[in-house]
Each structure stands twice: as C-alpha cells, then as structure tokens.
C-alpha cells in the first residue's frame, strides 16, 4: 500500500506538475519520475514485500508460482488502496491550482484521440515487456540480485518514453484506478483498458518467462 501510494503520488504528481505531453522535456521528466519512484521503493520495501506495487506484477508472480493466490489477492487490494490514497493527496494539492486549469490534476490515463484499440495494444505490449523484466531480473537463480530494482526502474523509464504519447502509460491497473476515481470523465470511460491491458500483458509475460527461463 505504501509503495503504490508513493509511486502514484510522485509519478503522477510529476506528470501534473510538468504538464506531461506539452513538450519533450515534460515527457522525459515524467518517465524518469516513474522509474525513480520504482527504484526508490524497490530498495525501501523490496525486502518486506518484494515491492510489487502493481497488480500486473503480482499476477505475473502468481502465474509463475512465486506468490500464493491468497497473498496475491491481498497485495492487489492494498495496491489499489495505496493508489487511491496517493491520488487523493495529489488531488488535494492540485484541485484549486489555477495554473493547472484545463489539464489533468491527477495524472489519470486516457486513450485520447488514439482510441481504445491502440491503447489496449500499447498497454498489453508494454506491460508484457515490463513484467518480463521483473520476472527475469528477480529470478532467484538467473536474476540480477541487488541490481534488480535498478533494472526494473530503468525499464519503466523506457516504457513511459514510448507509451506516454498513446495512453499516458499505465502498465499498472492500481496506478490507473486511483487517479481515475478523482479525475472522472474520459479517465473512467477508458479505465477498463488500463485494467484489462496490463493483466493480459502480465499473463503473456509469465508464459514467455516459463518458456525461456525454465531450467534445462
């Protein structure tokens, strides 16, 4: 819950503060913020919970038999709660900020002019890549050990650099649910894309890792 709250507040908070999408610098800054938030939390709570802070990662771990169904369910519930708390704090900070008038005050995701098909494809593919990095870098025998958090954070930066143009980049259902509750409108209408897409991508990633990562 704490980790997902921090990710949502700092990542989406940066997107809002920089008016993400207005220019190249804002996109790069937002991408770096999300990546750094993951790195920070990985080395803060990784030893406590594994720092999933993302239902898609939890699903990938569940399908890879790294977590029980009971624990996975609880992880997902509290990830969503954490994202709602983070979005609530951000909303409280920005809702009366006239400098943000006309723009998102929560960093909510939306398919925008690209449509749900493009959005769904982007979220499936990008989440698949992200979860594959997580599963590979955290593997007990073949993983990156203490460098796993860095690998995961850097990959999230790359994924945001690609995906922000199309969907604002979610690859994380909780991170989308929290802001959408406060943003409403298009964010709520498109929310299913940012739940279904990441879960499908995570399932595909788990299947790929089972093939390429299994012991020979």
Domain boundaries, given as residue ranges, for the chain: 2-95+107-213
Helices (H), the chain: 2-7, 13-17, 24-49, 55-63, 69-94, 115-137, 148-167, 173-183, 186-189, 193-213
Distance CA(79)–CA(138), nearest Å, equals 20
Check: CB of residue 95 under 8 Å from CB of residue 105.
Answer: yes
CATH topology of domain 2-95+107-213: Glycerol uptake facilitator protein (1.20.1080)
Between the alpha carbon of residue 170 and those of residues 81, 155, 174, the distances in Å are 16, 14, 9
Distances (CA, A) of 116 to 108, 112, 186, 191: 15, 8, 11, 10
Average pLDDT over residues 53-77: 97
Taking only the tens place, the pLDDT of each residue in 42-56 is 999 999 999 999 999
Q: What mean pLDDT comes out for the span 93-109? A: 77
Mapped onto helix, strand or coil, the DSSP state of residue 68 is coil
Give pLDDT tens digits for 203-216.
Answer: 999 999 999 987 65
Is 99 exposed, middle or buried, given 0-12, 13-18 or 19+ CB atoms closer than 10 A? exposed
- pLDDT surpasses 70 at 1: yes
**C-beta neighbour count of 142 within 10 angstroms:** 13
Mean pLDDT of 119-145: 95
């Amino acid at each position: 819950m704490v980790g997902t709250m921090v990710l949502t507040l700092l990542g989406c908070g940066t997107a809002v503060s920089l008016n993400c999408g207005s220019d190249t610098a804002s996109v790069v800054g937002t991408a770096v913020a999300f990546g750094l938030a993951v790195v920070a939390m990985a080395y803060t709570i990784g030893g406590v919970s594994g720092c999933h802070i993302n239902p898609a990662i939890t699903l990938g771990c569940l399908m890879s038999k790294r977590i029980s169904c009971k624990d996975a369910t609880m992880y997902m519930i509290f990830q969503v709660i954490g994202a709602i708390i983070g979005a609530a704090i951000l909303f409280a900070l920005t809702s009366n900020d006239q400098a943000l008038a006309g723009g998102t005050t929560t960093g909510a995701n939306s398919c925008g002019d690209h449509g749900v098909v493009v959005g769904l494809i982007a979220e499936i593919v990008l989440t698949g890549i992200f979860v594959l990095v997580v599963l590979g870098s955290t593997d007990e025998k073949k993983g990156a050990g203490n460098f796993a958090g860095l690998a995961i954070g850097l990959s999230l930066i790359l994924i945001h650099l690609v995906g922000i143009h199309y969907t604002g980049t979610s690859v994380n259902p909780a991170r989308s649910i929290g802001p959408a509750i406060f943003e409403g409108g298009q964010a709520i209408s498109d929310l299913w894309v940012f739940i279904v897409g990441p879960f499908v991508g995570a399932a595909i990633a788990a299947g790929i890792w089972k093939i390429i990562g299994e012991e020979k």
